[in-house]
Structure 1
Amino acid sequence: MKKRLSVGVAVLAGSASIGLQAQEAQDTMVVVGSRTPTQISQIPGAVWVIERDEIQQQLNTGADLKTTLGRLVPGMDLAPQGRTNFGQNLRGRSVQVLIDGVSLNSSRGLSRQFDSIDPFNIERIEVLSGASSLYGGGATGGIVNIITRKGESGGPNWRTRASVSSGFNDSDDFDKGLKQSVSGGSERLQGYLGVGYEDHGRFYDGDGDEIFPDITQTDLQDNRSIDVLGNVNAQLTPEQDLQLTGQIYRSRYEGDRGIYFPNIAQAPIPSLDGAEIRDGFDSDRSPSTERKMVNAQYHHGNLLGQDFYLQAFYREEEADFNAFPYPRPLPLEGRFGTEFATSEQNTKLSGIKALFDADLTETVSLTYGVDYEHEEFDANQMFFDIPATDASGGLVQQESRTEERYPSYEVDGFSGFLQGDWQATEALKLSAGVRQQHMEVDVDDFTLRNYNQLGERVGVEIPGGDNDYDATLFNASVLYDFGDHQTWLRYSQGFELPDPAKYYGKAPNISVGENPLDAVETDQVELGWRYRGDSWMGQAAIYYAWSDKAVENNDDLSVSVINEKKRDYGFEGAVTRYFDNGFETGGTLHLVRSEQKNDGDWDKRDVRYASVSSATAFLGWTDYERSVRLQANHNFDLEDDADQEIDGYTTLDLTMGYRMGIGELNFGVENLLDKDYSTVWGQRAVQFYSPNFGPEYLFDYQGRGRTYTLSWSMDY
């Protein structure tokens, strides 16, 4: 069985085995770097591996999955804290998120990739920083591959975790979680089944005030989630194995608290001012994320003298949003009304991937294969009865009708790739590769509806059509391995998937056939270095990424591809220092600058899209039975050339653990100093939605105040 160790931000149990663990780190095998198991020391790129113990340590403070990644992966933005991960980029650009190699991204960017799995069912997370074409579109900033827990022989092996969290602001300020798994099997057949349940209460900020719900992208207050994941691994022959995985995930609002608007029926023009949070919320459609996934992976260790990998998968997703208030003319009443509406967006993704890995000579290897993916998307908008919302201040939302929200579409992607490695000397490795991707887009006819001055709902027919586009992506790298440290120089390309749902359907003059989508390609150059020794580990890289186009939101929140050059450049790094007495210290740093060329000059990119520089630092101690860790997380200030700003902030987290005779007890405090602050997403939402859609306070999503978490876990 391969031994694994985290890179850069590892949390080690003590000092006696540091030398051995550092050596094991040299042999750590990951798939994120080349889609086949490869030692980290042989990957010409910044690779970060977050093991389950590290994930668990962050969860003990009350963190969720995206928060954990933001704290432990330099280059990745700190998390926005709501349900969305919009703007949580990697190296200033979009990140592709996978579960066991199955992409959670799609052409329609919903930014809910981390609302997809309970961390209890995660074995480790592999992250490759920088533009990549390994898994197709969406990875202009890097790849996050979530590896799920697997069964082991013997057993049955049981695992239990229970947790409670509260800031003690009110009786509804209370979260609870209960997780259970079982695994076992023989040498040839192993199975795993894990169930994770989370129930969140209300959130309160650093001043003890109840946090307003995020009515744009939704949040996790009064949210209940359940994740059921199971897999079976069969050793068919000494050279063949088959793994089958299935998952059902549901994350849904289950509360009765909502925003009460006292002035939405005000004549002649309604107002969204003066809103407050009240009981009595009842809606025919509540915010939720539901996913189903099946994944089959087959490996033959000697097919035609090569390693052969075959994967087939299917993913289905439904995303429901919070009701949003829109003005509507009511001429018969001589006033404007407020109509609430919310969307449901559905995605189906299926595909098959085949890959060969061949050693042509003792020094030359070749990886090649083909990918095919089929994506289907549709969306609808549910409108709610105005008399019911007027009478209840928006708390009671009864369906009045449902219409199309975006044009439905299908996208077929066909790809072929070739990657070669040459071990020129014992230390020097040269690599190069190419990926050719062809995308076919088929958009349905769509009716764009709006109100006229008479208050009538009228529609404009927008014809659909089909088109296609191509992307050719190259990479080349040089890696020099000194033994305990490596350095590399890498050039790579990735591309962003355009969004057909928001690009088409805006107006009849935007013909699908005559306005084909275009892959927004990103080029990147990276110089990096990593070291693993007996007493410390470190990894760092400087990078420069650029593209000739940019995707931006219009005032009506549709998207356009603009012919403006965009670039991101910066530094990412992490270091951990271990001491003989069980102490350890370290941190991460990401300095990034995002710019866009306007009228020949490089301007700082709009703060709605630009990444925010960040840093973390920690001090920890352990003696195997007891442990303590103090961690600081800092977002830097950000300002663009239009004087729009993101105010930075610093929070502290504390966690303590004690291994008992029956399991492990952990106590954590998130936001230890009870900092009152507006999240990065809240500040961006104000820029996106105010004043066009309402006053600032309605979109300024606040950070959670001091929160205590007590958890107990046991393997048996």
Structure 2
Amino acid sequence: MAVRTIVPWTVISLALTAPMVAHAASQSLDELVVVGSRAPAQISQVPGTVWVLEGEELEQQFQSGQDLKTVIGKLVPSMDLAPETRTNYGQNMRGRSVLVMIDGVSLNGSRGLSRQFDSIDPFNIDRIEVLSGATAIYGGGSTGGIVNIITRKGREGDAQFSTELGASSGFNNTEDRTFRVGQSIAGGNETIKGRLAIAAQDNGAMYDGNGDPIMPDISQTDLQYNRSVDVLGSTQIRIDDNQSLDLTAQFYRSRYEGDQGVWLGPMLSEINDPEIRDGFSSDRDPETERYMFNLAYQHGDFLGHTAYLQASMRNEESAFHPYPYRRATAPQSYFGASSQETRQYLVKGLLAKDLGDVRLNYGIDLDREDFSASQMIFENMAAFSSGGLVFDEEFTVDRYPDYRVEGIAAYLQAEWDATERLQLNAGIRQRYARLEMEDFVGTQQAVEVERGLASGADAIPGGESDYDVTLVNVGAIYNLPEDHQIWANFSQGFEIPDPGKVAGRGSYSLTGGRYVLTDSLNIDDNPIPGLETNQVELGWRTYQANWDAQVAAYYTWSDKEAETNRTTLTVDVVDRKTRDYGLEGALTWYANEQWYVGGTGHYVRSEVEDDDGDWQKNVVTAASLPNATAFVRWQDNLTSVRLQGSRAFDIEDDAGDEIDGYTTFDLMAARKLPLGRINVAVTNLLDEQYDTVWGQRAQLFYGYEELFDFKGQGRTYSLTYSVDY
């Protein structure tokens, strides 16, 4: 890997940088990076497992036509392989949820929408930084790890342009195609520089290894016939020798633009034998739309400290595909499509002080999130008689209770060089948060009131829950001779379970034509408990002239579990101990200047404790699949070729359910031209026919085996041309 110094400000205290999975040259442990202490540090100062994807290696992966979550899943061992749809539900790290950020701005929300990777076009990504495992330093949502996506920035000099054109197809028919285009302009001087870019992608249909069309996903939605646009602008201002300012703004939209849908037969008579047909139209189409603004300020000498300040705003709306809600009588049944809006505001301040053998980082985080959701109800006659193809709005009701989560957190992180070889790390984070939830009428009852089937319905009470959480981390790093290093750490993570699915539930009885509430979860009297995760990790890494390696073993446990009810798809928080333990690692060997080979692997086991105190396998709808990758690469001054394979291993639980794994191979080649560069790739090289992990989980969640039979995409050819000028 090329040795470089990373300027920390664009990610202030929130970026994570360390060795790449695939390397171009070796790197020193003394390389300066921005890592888990939320301020610049060397790799040798990080008591944890850190990965970075960047440079030509990352660019080649993206230009092979693979999306963001697929690339991360194949290159980061602790990350599950991608589910191959719009959702990243179940794509965990070390068996737990992952916090995803863009330039330090969180894409996670308290409502688990699982669309964090439907967020940015690869054309605008400079590098991706990953920290495996729970961390107390970043607070909520990071119980399994952190993925921070760093965007491309402007450079000094005259106007610099970049153009990228790409296309992918499996050549099954004219609808089997994807087109990509990106254009940027950048430039500036010592005082101010910037970049403005627009990137777009237009998808057609997708086909499996047998050449058959893949069933569209009417539950979480997929990316067939999807068009996305990503407009990203950034400006970096050097105020003086000590001060700098970074401004970033993004508009991102990813939306279904087709006319194909899933035909379920008149009155759902063929729901067990669905077909893909033309004629789909809806007043609410699946989409993700987001506006994001980020301001980052740095002062190099503020009262003897380096000061960092970040303020950001994210407004995101996610809409879903119309879905059939079947009830005992026809008037009570309906097709509905939800739209959920998250508005997030963050202010984060950090002071860093170097005292020689001791380094201190401390600061305050402020956050607020507002959530609302609606359910568009469609006219029954058109929806049911068309077999689920025509959706005209009848009315709109609430889907989940409106709520607000706001909080404040203070933290202190310290590093001490105890000896020339031993470094000790410790930190504490204290967070206070409040959840405020509005009253809410159950969606089914609201639908029947709107249709005149009931005169009214009681509201499920809202309320407030308070959280006062202390998280700690303790670590040690010992430097062995010849650039070998071992570390150990204990760290904690915390998250509030999905309020929309934990609360907002009630039991009703129809009395005198009115729905009367008989039972409900009142969070004033029954607060939603937070989920605290504890992790112990042991690791070793080295960077040698001809080989690099990193290995870590971990054990993670919690005293509570957020359990998804397969019947209602709501979430129950239960007092049940859970644990995940495993081993992750990567190895790269540089045979010579042209050849190198390597691989990654992750073994993970997820378990829950039963009523007798015995440990059982966690259900397959929640447990992660072990995985492994291997690659061989050849390169010279003009050409590079990479062959890689990925394997997801089978898992099963004690209830008899199982998820079947699969193996795919990808071949990628790049050639530098007199002007620009061309990339050619074949993904799923052997045209493997397999069921996606999400498809298998969806069948367990929803039933209807044929309707949720989501196959993996078959052999696909990609051609991309890129040029900087």
Normalising by structure 2, we get a TM-score of: 0.93
The residue aligned with 1:708 is 717
Q: Is the 8 Å Cα contact of residues 9 and 72 (structure 1) preserved in structure 2?
A: yes
CA 362–11 in structure 1, closer or farther in 2 if over 3 Å, else same: closer
3-state SS of 2:402 partner: strand
Aligned counterparts, 1:672-683, within 5 A:
672-683=685-696
3-state SS of 1:683 partner: helix
Q: Is the 8 Å Cα contact of residues 64 and 720 (structure 2) preserved in structure 1?
A: no
Aligned counterparts, 1:47-126, within 5 A:
47-126=50-129
Of 455, 458, 461, 1:460 maps to: 458
The separation in 1 between residues aligned to 2:299 and 2:307, in whole angstroms, is 5
Residue by residue, what CA displacement relative to the aligned partner does 1:434-480 show, whole Å, maximum 9, x if unpaired? 10111101101111142679982553311211121121101000001
Aligned counterparts, 1:490-569, within 5 A:
490-507=489-506, 508-554=519-565, 555-569=567-581
* Shift of residue 32, structure 1, vs aligned partner: 3.5
The separation in 2 between residues aligned to 1:709 and 1:541, in whole angstroms, is 35
* Shift of residue 123, structure 1, vs aligned partner: 1.0
For the pair 1:699 / 2:708, whether they are aligned, the reply is yes
Q: Is the 8 Å Cα contact of residues 338 and 399 (structure 2) preserved in structure 1?
A: yes
Look up the equivalent residue of 1:174 and give its one-letter code. R
CA 627–119 in structure 1, closer or farther in 2 if over 3 Å, else same: same
For the pair 1:441 / 2:435, whether they are aligned, the reply is yes
CA 245–8 in structure 1, closer or farther in 2 if over 3 Å, else same: closer
Of 559, 584, 608, 1:572 maps to: 584
Residue by residue, what CA displacement relative to the aligned partner does 1:149-200 show, whole Å, maximum 9, x if unpaired? 1111102111111100000111100100000111110012110111111110
3-state SS of 1:349 partner: strand
Q: Is the 8 Å Cα contact of residues 273 and 706 (structure 2) preserved in structure 1?
A: no
Look up the equivalent residue of 2:373 and give its one-letter code. A
The separation in 2 between residues aligned to 1:576 and 1:713, in whole angstroms, is 28
The separation in 2 between residues aligned to 1:68 and 1:50, in whole angstroms, is 9
For the pair 1:22 / 2:31, whether they are aligned, the reply is no
3-state SS of 2:73 partner: helix
Q: Is the 8 Å Cα contact of residues 487 and 538 (structure 2) preserved in structure 1?
A: yes
The residue aligned with 1:652 is 665
* Shift of residue 515, structure 1, vs aligned partner: 1.3
Q: Is the 8 Å Cα contact of residues 272 and 705 (structure 2) preserved in structure 1?
A: no
Q: Is the 8 Å Cα contact of residues 209 and 687 (structure 2) preserved in structure 1?
A: yes
The residue aligned with 1:189 is 192
The separation in 2 between residues aligned to 1:60 and 1:54, in whole angstroms, is 10
CA 137–6 in structure 1, closer or farther in 2 if over 3 Å, else same: closer
Of 430, 447, 471, 2:469 maps to: 471
3-state SS of 1:568 partner: strand
Q: Is the 8 Å Cα contact of residues 30 and 126 (structure 1) preserved in structure 2?
A: no
The residue aligned with 1:39 is 42
* Shift of residue 365, structure 1, vs aligned partner: 1.4
Q: Is the 8 Å Cα contact of residues 19 and 27 (structure 2) preserved in structure 1?
A: no
The separation in 1 between residues aligned to 2:274 and 2:474, in whole angstroms, is 56
The residue aligned with 1:351 is 346
3-state SS of 2:435 partner: strand
CA 78–295 in structure 1, closer or farther in 2 if over 3 Å, else same: same
Look up the equivalent residue of 2:285 and give its one-letter code. S
3-state SS of 1:450 partner: helix
The residue aligned with 2:633 is 620
Q: Is the 8 Å Cα contact of residues 120 and 230 (structure 2) preserved in structure 1?
A: yes
Q: Is the 8 Å Cα contact of residues 264 and 393 (structure 1) preserved in structure 2?
A: yes
The separation in 2 between residues aligned to 1:638 and 1:467, in whole angstroms, is 37
Q: Is the 8 Å Cα contact of residues 99 and 145 (structure 2) preserved in structure 1?
A: yes
* Shift of residue 517, structure 1, vs aligned partner: 2.0
Gaps of 5+ in 2: 7-16, 507-518
CA 113–210 in structure 1, closer or farther in 2 if over 3 Å, else same: same
Look up the equivalent residue of 1:46 and give its one-letter code. T
For the pair 1:374 / 2:368, whether they are aligned, the reply is yes
CA 11–87 in structure 1, closer or farther in 2 if over 3 Å, else same: same
The separation in 2 between residues aligned to 1:467 and 1:638, in whole angstroms, is 37
Residue by residue, what CA displacement relative to the aligned partner does 1:210-239 show, whole Å, maximum 9, x if unpaired? 011111111100000010111111111101
More displaced 10-residue stretch of structure 1: 88-97 or 453-462: 453-462
The separation in 1 between residues aligned to 2:358 and 2:18, in whole angstroms, is 28
More displaced 10-residue stretch of structure 1: 144-153 or 576-585: 576-585
Look up the equivalent residue of 1:601 and give its one-letter code. D
Of 622, 631, 639, 2:652 maps to: 639
Q: Is the 8 Å Cα contact of residues 274 and 706 (structure 2) preserved in structure 1?
A: no
Aligned counterparts, 1:98-497, within 5 A:
98-264=101-267, 270-330=269-329, 339-359=334-354, 361-450=355-444, 456=453, 459-482=457-480, 484-497=483-496
More displaced 10-residue stretch of structure 1: 56-65 or 240-249: 56-65
3-state SS of 2:399 partner: strand
3-state SS of 1:516 partner: coil
The separation in 2 between residues aligned to 1:426 and 1:188, in whole angstroms, is 40
The separation in 2 between residues aligned to 1:165 and 1:8, in whole angstroms, is 27
3-state SS of 1:294 partner: strand
Instruction: Give the percent of matched residue pairs that are identical in Structure 1 and Structure 2.
Output: 52
Residue by residue, what CA displacement relative to the aligned partner does 1:228-251 show, whole Å, maximum 9, x if unpaired? 111111111101101010000000
Q: Is the 8 Å Cα contact of residues 8 and 539 (structure 1) preserved in structure 2?
A: no
Q: Is the 8 Å Cα contact of residues 280 and 389 (structure 2) preserved in structure 1?
A: yes
* Shift of residue 391, structure 1, vs aligned partner: 3.2
* Shift of residue 42, structure 1, vs aligned partner: 1.4
* Shift of residue 6, structure 1, vs aligned partner: 6.2
The residue aligned with 1:662 is 675
Look up the equivalent residue of 1:705 and give its one-letter code. G
3-state SS of 1:494 partner: strand
* Shift of residue 8, structure 1, vs aligned partner: 4.6
* Shift of residue 626, structure 1, vs aligned partner: 1.0
* Shift of residue 329, structure 1, vs aligned partner: 5.0
Residue by residue, what CA displacement relative to the aligned partner does 1:594-626 show, whole Å, maximum 9, x if unpaired? 000012110000000000000000011001211
3-state SS of 2:701 partner: helix
Normalising by structure 1, we get a TM-score of: 0.95
The separation in 2 between residues aligned to 1:509 and 1:80, in whole angstroms, is 35
* Shift of residue 271, structure 1, vs aligned partner: 5.0
Residue by residue, what CA displacement relative to the aligned partner does 1:235-290 show, whole Å, maximum 9, x if unpaired? 1110110101000000000001101122426xxxx551221011111100000000
Look up the equivalent residue of 2:129 and give its one-letter code. E
Q: Is the 8 Å Cα contact of residues 652 and 670 (structure 1) preserved in structure 2?
A: yes
Segments ≥4 residues shifted beyond 6 Å: 452-455
More displaced 10-residue stretch of structure 1: 415-424 or 465-474: 465-474
Look up the equivalent residue of 2:396 and give its one-letter code. T
More displaced 10-residue stretch of structure 1: 478-487 or 432-441: 478-487
Q: Is the 8 Å Cα contact of residues 6 and 51 (structure 1) preserved in structure 2?
A: no
* Shift of residue 658, structure 1, vs aligned partner: 1.0
Q: Is the 8 Å Cα contact of residues 561 and 573 (structure 2) preserved in structure 1?
A: yes
* Shift of residue 502, structure 1, vs aligned partner: 1.1
The separation in 1 between residues aligned to 2:23 and 2:166, in whole angstroms, is 22
3-state SS of 1:698 partner: coil
Q: Is the 8 Å Cα contact of residues 654 and 672 (structure 1) preserved in structure 2?
A: yes
CA 28–257 in structure 1, closer or farther in 2 if over 3 Å, else same: farther
